[in-house]
Amino acid sequence: MAEWEAVIGLEVHAHLKTRTKMFCRCPLEYGAAENTSTCPVCLAHPGALPVPNRKAIEQTLRLGLALGCDIAEHSVFARKNYFYPDLPKGYQISQYEAPLCGKGALDVPGGTRVGITRAHLEEDAAKTVHAGGATGRSVGADYSLVDFNRGGTPLLEIVTEPDLHGADDADRFLRLLRQTIVELGISDAEMEKGTLRADVNVSVRERGETGFRPRWELKNMNSFTFIRRGIEAAIREQVAAYERGETLEQSTYDYDPDTDRLTVHRSKEEADDYRYFPEPDLVPVEPPAELLESLELPELPGARVARLAEQVGLDGAWELVSTGNDRKAELLVGAGVEWKAAAALAMNRGDFLPENAAALARIVQANVTREALDEAFARAATERIDAEPYLAQTAVGDESELVPVIEAILAANPDQVASYRGGKEGVLGFFVGAVMRETNGKADPKVVNRLLRETLRVSK
Ligand SMILES: [Zn+2]
């Protein structure tokens, strides 16, 4: 049996975070009422002329710099012609031969270096809503409505080389790219809101083979889970077909998460011919050197994963960075907190001043009450804190210390025990109060509650 290797490339689309659309001044507001954010430019009235959004160009350039792309000295917008109801002009303004960002790469720590073919800027189409009949699907719908609010949203398209070789590989790359985009502040990149989506190209070949076989394109994937499962399904179905001796052709597929199968969306005969040509209504974009120098980049997540991996291993590093607050988690780790605890604290306890990391680490490692921990983190966000007063508020979290206290209280209050067992559950509060008094408020009420219930159930 042949050994197969998957070859995967991605086309990732992200809505840029600008106040207005790509070529007009219509505001972009998520969730606005349908067709309220339109104008003659984005509705393609005759004579209306586009004006490019400077912010969108800058954001695209920042991403290009972050991915080490060749930045174009002379970039042009192009018309991509096709007919569809969500495209009032009959063409989309995109980029073709001269994108803003050319070749680059993104290193996935612990994984592959993924080549970036290009990153360009375009406008999104409007949104079609299918209604009546088989609601939500074009086939069988009674009628369709178009919401032009989305039409003209600045859209960044990033195309990778076919450098990925499996679902895990693609998943890590995509998460890293998403995190990079989010941290650059250029897009919310939320799949569930549709501000990030991907087309996934998958083919397989026998190990050692150098050329590429026909690829299947999974269109408009908008969930990390479905992307992973779609890739696995495509690999499985292609390998099975080749092993049956079949030949395959290049096609576009839809992945159906309910059946975990792929169905042909569009086959090769209908392959697109967009008749691209330079957009005559827009001048070329020539980013000046001063502009590129002014676009500062933060430390990027890929670099931070690589650095953290040396301290906490690769899995820990990925987990820390995906908390979105790994700079704070890293400070806690540096002060001696175990990384899993640091990740949870960074996620759930939010922010603190960096100079408080050492004090917080001491408090976290001591067994302080929940109240003390809450207060320490609340104060640490705005002022410099000292660990000592919190360390004094030690929690009695140890069950072996609590059980004798509970048993003594139950023994001293036989009437209340009887009424609890008789069904008066409210009496539990009386016991919790008694235990808290006895421990000077240092017990964890949750633990006390559980231990009380257990003891009252078991002992007679
Ligand atoms: Zn408009």
Q: How far apart are CA 162 and CA 150, in angstroms?
A: 30
125 C-alpha to ligand 1 centroid (Å) = 12
Ligand 1 centroid from CA 43, angstroms: 7
Give, in degrees to the nearest 5, the angle at Cα 321 between 317 and 327.
Answer: 105
pLDDT at residue 459 is higher than 80: no
Please say whether the beta carbons of 216 and 262 come within 8 A: yes
| Residue 242 backbone phi and psi in degrees, to 5 | -65, -40
pLDDT of residue 74: 97
How far is ligand 1, taken at its centre, from the CA of residue 400, in Å? 68
Q: What confidence tens digit (pLDDT) does each residue in 177-236 have?
A: 999 999 999 999 999 988 999 999 999 999 999 999 999 999 989 999 999 999 999 999
22 CA → ligand 1 middle, Å? 9
Distance CA 197, CA 124 (A): 12
Identify the residue with better confidence: 142 or 22. Answer: 22
* Residue type for position 354: P
pTM higher than 0.85 for the full model?
Answer: no
CA of 153 to the centre of ligand 1 (A): 9
Residue located via tokens 């088989």: 134
CA of 20 to the centre of ligand 1 (A): 8
Q: How much distance in Å is there from the Cα of 28 to the middle of ligand 1?
A: 10
Centroid of ligand 1 to alpha carbon of 95 (angstroms): 20
- Spell out where 110-233 has E strands: 113-123, 127-131, 143-147, 154-160, 196-206, 216-221
Ligand 1 center–CA 284 separation, angstroms: 21
Count of Cβ atoms closer than 10 Å to residue 368 Cβ: 23
138 band by pLDDT with thresholds 50, 70 and 90: low
pLDDT tens for 91-125 read 999 999 999 999 999 999 887 899 999 999 999 99
Contact 77, 95 (CB under 8 A): yes
For residue range 311-349, what is the model confidence (pLDDT) as tens digits?
A: 889 888 988 888 878 888 889 888 988 888 888 888 888
Give the contacts of 89 (CB within 8 A, at least 6 positions apart).
44
Distance from the alpha carbon of residue 149 to the mean position of ligand 1, in angstroms = 8
Ligand 1 centre to CA of 282 (Å) is: 16
Q: Give the contacts of 238 (CB within 8 A, at least 6 positions apart).
A: 202, 203, 204, 213, 216, 248
Cα 88 to averaged position of ligand 1 atoms, centre (Å): 12
State the distance from the centre of ligand 1 to the C-alpha of 89, rounded, in angstroms. 12
- Tokens for 365, please give them: 């490692």
- Convert the pLDDT of each residue in 348-375 to its tens digit: 887 899 999 999 998 888 877 778 888 8
pLDDT of residue 460: 47
Distance 186 CA to ligand 1 centre (A): 21
Q: How far is the CA of 39 from the centre of ligand 1 (A)?
A: 4
- Phi, psi (deg, nearest 5) at residue 256: -105, 105
- Closest by alpha carbon to 176, among 194, 157, 189, 195? 189
Higher pLDDT, 142 or 33: 33
Cβ atoms within 10 Å of 384's Cβ, excluding its own: 10
What's the 146 CA to ligand 1 centre distance in angstroms? 15
The rounded Å distance from CA 21 to ligand 1 centre is: 7
Are the C-beta atoms of 6 and 206 separated by less than 8 Å? no
pLDDT at 305 over 80: yes
Q: What is the pLDDT of residue 10?
A: 98
pLDDT at 158 over 50: yes
- pLDDT band of residue 269 (cuts 50, 70, 90) is very low
Q: What is the whole-number distance in angstroms between the Cα of residue 40 and the centre of ligand 1?
A: 6
Whether pLDDT at 457 is above 90 = no
For the chain, counts of helices (H) and of strands (E): 14, 13
